[in-house]
Structure formats: C-alpha cells, structure tokens
Amino acid sequence: MNKKILILTGSPRKNGNSDMLADAFMKGAQEKGHIVNKIEVAKLNISGCTACEMCWTKDGACVQCDDMAEIKPLLESVDVLVLVSPLYFFGISAQLKTAIDRLCAYCAGNCKKPLNIKESALIMCGECDEERFFSGAIDTYRHTADYMKWKDRGILIATSVTAKGDVLQGDWLTKAQAFGARI
C-alpha cells in the first residue's frame, strides 16, 4: 500500500548531514511508490507554542499566523511522519522541537481536524560516537509517538558525524535509503 509520508527536518545547515539522510530515506521510500514530502522547518518562521490554550477552545486551530500554515495541510493528510534532526545539546534541534510543540493544537478533545498520522520514525546524526548520547532525543521521540498513538517504525542514529559531508563516510546513507524502502 502506498503511504503518504511527511519528513520534517530540523537542521539550519543547508545540504547538511541530516538533510542528506532525509534525502536518502526519501529516495528509498519513493522507489517503493510512497508519496513523500520533505519540509525543512529551520527555513520557516515558526513560533513556539504560547500555551494560550485558544486551540483548545477554537476547534483545534492555532491562532498564531506563521509558517506553520505551510506544514498544516501535509500534517493533516499524511499517514507517516518522519522526524530528522541533528543532535543539538543532546536533544532534537530547537527548530524541529518548536514545530513539534505546535502539534498541541491537535491534541484538544474538540479538535475538528485530528491528525491521521499512524506511524512515525526518527533519524538523527551527531558528533558523539555512541548512541547513548542520543538517549534524551530518543526518549522525547518515543514518548511523543506513544502519546500521539503513532506506531514507531524505527530509529536511525548516525554517530561520529560532525562536519558537513561526514555522513558520506561509512554506510549511513545506504542505511537511510533502506530504512525508507521498508517504511
């Protein structure tokens, strides 16, 4: 079955390591016939959730007017959400986390347009040479997936990846492409 997949990337670095991982994942998924969109959230102007709770009284709609509007139509139509981020101080990048926080608007009981996302995946890269340094980010992802009732389809962590292009060393992109192919 062809799936609709949205990849949200969190690095501000153009053509950086995580972006390359995202593109490899996308290639694998597209080769299997899935429909894949990628949005680089760091290029967008997305404000943090203000906890105004207006979405909870206004049918699940956030009252903030910003570039979240570009993501919304895709978020509301896809089956699979893939989060891709560099490790920033042992967590998901602030740019991506800011977009994730805005999903709060979809958690209201009276939300008229609940998300249809059923599955999710996480792809990360970082300078650290062991996966244990990614545990904070992985926990955040796992708890979020549980809370949102997304079935976790897997996690790919590219370690010892620092300078732009480091991800080309080793077989990270092959792994990311294979991950996309089995999503």
Ligand X SMILES: Cc1cc2nc3c(=O)[nH]c(=O)nc-3n(C[C@H](O)[C@H](O)[C@H](O)COP(=O)(O)O)c2cc1C
- Stretch of 8-16, 52-60, 149-157, 168-176 contacting ligand X, by CB under 6 A: 8-16
Q: Cα–Cα distance between 75 and 51 in angstroms, integer?
A: 20
Residue 37 forms beta bridges with which residues? 6
Using CB under 6 A as the binding rule, whether residue 120 contacts ligand X is answered as no
Q: At 155, list the tokens.
A: 């996690």
- The answer to the question of residue 98 lying near ligand X (CB under 6 A) is no
Among 3, 38, 153, 164, binds ligand X (CB under 6 A): 164
DSSP secondary structure of 39-90: EEGGGS--PPP----HHHHTTT-----STHHHHHHHHTT-SEEEEEEEEETT
Of residues 122, 132, 131, the one with CA closest to residue 84: 122
> Nearest distance from residue 92's CB to ligand X, in Å?
11
* Residue number, 32 or 43, with CB nearest to ligand X: 43
Name which of 59 and 171 has its Cβ closer to ligand X: 171
Q: Does 173 sit near ligand X (CB under 6 A)? A: no
The C-alpha atoms of residue 80 and residue 83 are separated, in whole angstroms, by 10
Q: 10 Å Cβ neighbour count for 20?
A: 22
Is position 128 an interface residue for ligand X (rule: CB under 6 A)?
A: yes
Site residues (CB under 6 A) for ligand X, limited to 12-71:
13, 16-19
Distances (CA, A) of 89 to 5, 11, 94, 130, 167: 28, 13, 10, 14, 19
Does 148 engage in binding with ligand X (CB under 6 A)? no
Provide the minimum distance between the beta carbon of 13 and ligand X in the complex, in angstroms, as a whole number: 4
And the tokens for 122?
């996480």
Q: Which is nearer to ligand X, 17 or 177 (CB)?
A: 17
Does 131 engage in binding with ligand X (CB under 6 A)?
no
Q: Shortest approach of ligand X to residue 4 CB, angstroms?
A: 24
* List of residues contacting ligand X (CB under 6 A): 11, 13, 16-19, 86-90, 125-128, 133, 161-162, 164
